[in-house]
Amino acid sequence: MRTSESLARPAGWKACATADILRYGGKAKVRLMDLGGISGRLMAMTWLVQTMTGTQLGAVEIAEPELRTRSRPSQSDPAHDWLCAWCLHRVAHEADRFSFEGESEFSFKNPQGLRFHIVTFSRTLGCRQNGVPTLEHTWFPGHAWSYCVCDRCRTHLGWYYAGASEFAGLIRDRIVRAATVRN
């Protein structure tokens, strides 16, 4: 996994105070979560799945970064789908993982010091772009970013990047593998 310290920061890097604000019917909502590690994520995911499906769960597994597979996953196999952790909408597929300079998982800090672990994909399935692309504070030199939100619930899932190549970086804590959600 590559960290922000291993990539050169672009000229003009400076601190700024931005928040990820999602709009629902004209009303702004800011979602802040501190889930405190695996046990916190497990409790949150269990609550989420039970709330969304009305099903009692015996166990929910939180997907950790996968080991690289020898063969490329089939696009038709839903077990290889990535879902929005909030509403379980299909947002990406494992076969669409994108390698930037030999890596597909990264860890970066934003100007406010928040760390994001992201997984890169060549395309997304259930997401939409939000905002005007900008090079300010980009984690990928020469690539302008804009927000990537879930089509269904509008949760901020990551960023779209446009430059020499186009790809999406989805925040690892905001997506789950379909195979790990059992009911």
Q: What is the mean pLDDT of residues 12-16?
A: 32
pLDDT per residue as tens digits for the range 18-43: 233 232 333 333 333 333 443 344 44
More confidently predicted of 85 and 55:
85
Q: What is the mean pLDDT of residues 68-90?
A: 73
Is residue 48 in some structural domain?
A: yes
Place of tokens 């990264």: 106
Going from the C-alpha of 119 to that of each of 10, 15, 24, 98, 183, the distances in angstroms are 21, 24, 26, 8, 26
Assign 161 to helix, strand or coil: strand
**Predicted local distance difference test score (pLDDT) of residue 63:** 38
Place of tokens 């010091």: 113
| Least confident among 3-12, 82-91, 108-117 | 3-12
**Predicted local distance difference test score (pLDDT) of residue 79:** 75
Domain hosting residue 116, numbered range: 33-65+79-180
Total domains in the chain come to 1
Q: What is the mean pLDDT of residues 50-54?
A: 45
Is residue 132 in some structural domain?
A: yes
> In sequence order, what DSSP letters do the residues of 115-139 get, joined into one string?
EEEEEEES--SSEEEEEEEE-TT-S
| Burial of residue 135, with CB atoms counted within 10 A of its CB: 0-12 exposed, 13-18 middle, 19 or more buried | middle
CATH code of the domain in which 157 resides: 2.170.150.20
> In sequence order, what DSSP letters do the residues of 35-65 get, joined into one string?
--HHHHHHHHHHHHHHHHH----S--PPPPP
Length of the chain: 183
Q: Using 50, 70 and 90 to split pLDDT, how confident is the model at 182?
A: low
pLDDT per residue as tens digits for the range 145-166: 999 999 999 999 999 999 999 9
- CA 22 to CA 132: how far, in whole Å? 15
Is residue 12 in some structural domain?
A: no
Q: Write down the mean pLDDT value for the chain.
A: 71
| DSSP 8-state symbol, 70 | S
**Predicted local distance difference test score (pLDDT) of residue 180:** 86
Count of other CB atoms within 10 angstroms of residue 74: 12
Is residue 110 scored above 80 in pLDDT? yes
Q: What is the mean pLDDT of residues 99-113?
A: 92
Is residue 131 in some structural domain?
A: yes
Is residue 118 in some structural domain?
A: yes
Is residue 27 in some structural domain?
A: no
Is residue 17 in some structural domain?
A: no
Q: Using 50, 70 and 90 to split pLDDT, how confident is the model at 68?
A: very low
Is residue 20 in some structural domain?
A: no
> CB under 8 Å, gap of 24 or more: what pairs does 160-165 form?
160/129, 160/133, 162/133, 165/98, 165/100
Q: Which helix (H) or strand (E) holds 103?
A: none
**Predicted local distance difference test score (pLDDT) of residue 174:** 97
- CA 174 to CA 122: how far, in whole Å? 18
Phi, then psi, of 129 in degrees rounded to 5: -80, 145
